[in-house]
Structure 1
Amino acid sequence: MDDASGSVATAQYARRPSAPARASRKQVAILGGLLLALLLPAFVSLGLWQWRKAESKTALQSELDSRSHDAAIAIPTTPADVDALRHRRVILRGSYDAAHQVLIDNRPYREQAGYHVITPLQLSGSTMHVLVNRGWLPAPADHRQQPVAEVPAGEIEVSGIAVLPAQRFFTLAAQPTSGWAPVWQNLDLERFRSAVPYPLQGLVVQLDPTAAGGYVRDWPRPDERADRHRSYALQWFGFAIASLGIWGYFLIRRP
């Protein structure tokens, strides 16, 4: 055999995978296929779940947007179905309870520190109260001082949008369990209920920007964050495609 023939044979032998390499490649294919059989359905299922949540949130968003443009309704004096009133325009007639007004701290507006002013309103002819968010009030330069939030006296009629208070929130420090604190870190409805001697509806009314007796009321549009769930769904679908691609790469690559 001449040198040229020997070189060709050597090159062909070098390109030919050894038995251990072929076995290893087969093991990778089998193990990868088993792993893919587990991961692929999970990724697709999670993606579909997030996509369905996005569709549900989109439908709810449309309903909430339409509710805010419906005719205003009166809040009942008996415990209300808060989900049915959520983001509806409501009318309240009664008088404010200035003694139990609170300022909700850490509510910045246009990069300025401030408070939300929360005042209970007693509905006329009953003991039922409703919390009214009368808007944003700037904080003094010395944060140790508290701003003065005047409360309209006598019976009044106000309107606004009914919203549900947050159920989960982050507290920077322990809150007092007794006595009345004029400044709170968060609007904790259960804490409010336990601190006042009267029944309280399970919602908050964001005072209409045109109503008297309020402060800055640049209320954000209700957002159910449907786009966030779509983004999650696309991530899960991306994981599924990437898993297929990685497995396919290991199948076709040369050892």
Structure 2
Amino acid sequence: MRLRRPSVFAVLLTLAGVVLFIRLGIWQLNRAVEKEQLLRRFATANSAPTVPFSKVAAGAPAHAYPHVSVAGHFLRHHLYVMDDQVLGDRVGVQVYAPFVVSGGQRVVLVGLGFLPRGGSGKTLPYIPPLPDHRMTLHGLYVPPPAPALRMGGNRLPDQKQWPKTMIYMDLGDISKDLGHPLYPRRLLLDPDPAQPYVRKWTPGVMPPARHRGYAFQWFSFAAAAVAIFVILHRRRDPKDASKS
């Protein structure tokens, strides 16, 4: 196969596209490796020794998940329910409760766990009442989920009965609704077989497999750019031209 001499513009444009697509593919592969490391850290965080909440309360490195112990009391009758959650093949809710940390009025939002819906799935599952005494909790201190498409919002102030339902989590909105300042992260409680809640926590990040899928797409674009360049500059055989 012979090629016509391409213009300088065509060569530069193709090279720029190929380099860009390859760089984006490599970036996605690197992101997949980062996510695998992050998931490993998250999986082993529960078995790490607990640290006092005061040491990390103001914040922690972006991809660190401190295993903390914190004393205080729940704001009873104040529950937030993240609706339409999926765990395995079950649909249900994630339940959160505000917890006033001892020594101040600041609140940390506590993830109690997952409860599956039953029956028709139109009503909330039974949520056990919160303890009314001072206690110490243990769990992972993690960032809130990534911002979601709001589509009209949670409208928490318009809900007059508890628990209040959410379709996304915004700690600022919850703080305003409670009238208490919130810490910048959530506390996801350790598993407890005595509780009805299922606590199989995962970080709210894009899985490594999806990053690899995007990398394959970018590499495919690079290959397609080369193929298009060759097709457009292929020189037709004179015999084929005479036949046409």
Give the TM bin, normalised by the shorter chain: 0.7 to 0.9
Matched to 2:31, the amino acid is: K
Equivalent of 1:75 in 53, 72, 82: 53
CA displacement at 1:101 relative to structure 2: 1.4
Following the alignment from structure 1 to structure 2, what is the Cα–Cα distance between the partners of residues 138 and 58? 28
Q: Unpaired segments of 5 or more residues in structure 1?
A: 1-21
Following the alignment from structure 2 to structure 1, what is the Cα–Cα distance between the partners of residues 151 and 117? 18
Matched to 1:108, the amino acid is: V
Residue 190 of structure 2 aligns with which residue? 208
CA displacement at 1:134 relative to structure 2: 0.9
Q: Residues 113, 243 of structure 1: CA spacing in aligned structure 2 closer, same or farther, 3 A cutoff?
A: closer
Residue 41 of structure 1 aligns with which residue? 19
CA displacement at 1:130 relative to structure 2: 1.3
CA displacement at 1:151 relative to structure 2: 0.9
- How many corresponding residue pairs? 231
Structure (1/2) with the larger helix percentage: 1
Following the alignment from structure 2 to structure 1, what is the Cα–Cα distance between the partners of residues 73 and 16? 62
74-83 vs 95-104, which moves further: 74-83
CA displacement at 1:161 relative to structure 2: 1.8
Following the alignment from structure 1 to structure 2, what is the Cα–Cα distance between the partners of residues 172 and 223? 21
TM-superposition CA deviations, 1:129-176 (whole Å, max 9, x none): 211111122335465644442112211222122222123123455432
Matched to 2:178, the amino acid is: V
Q: Which has the larger radius of gyration?
A: 1
Following the alignment from structure 2 to structure 1, what is the Cα–Cα distance between the partners of residues 132 and 19? 63
Matched to 1:120, the amino acid is: P
> Mapping of 1:88-127 within 5 angstroms?
88-127=66-105
Equivalent of 2:143 in 139, 144, 164: 164
CA displacement at 1:78 relative to structure 2: 8.4
Q: Kindly report the root-mean-square deviation, in angstroms, between the aligned alpha carbons of the 2 structures.
A: 3.3
Structure (1/2) with the larger strand percentage: 2
Residue 234 of structure 2 aligns with which residue? 251
Following the alignment from structure 2 to structure 1, what is the Cα–Cα distance between the partners of residues 103 and 199? 28
Q: Give TM-score, length-normalised by structure 1.
A: 0.73
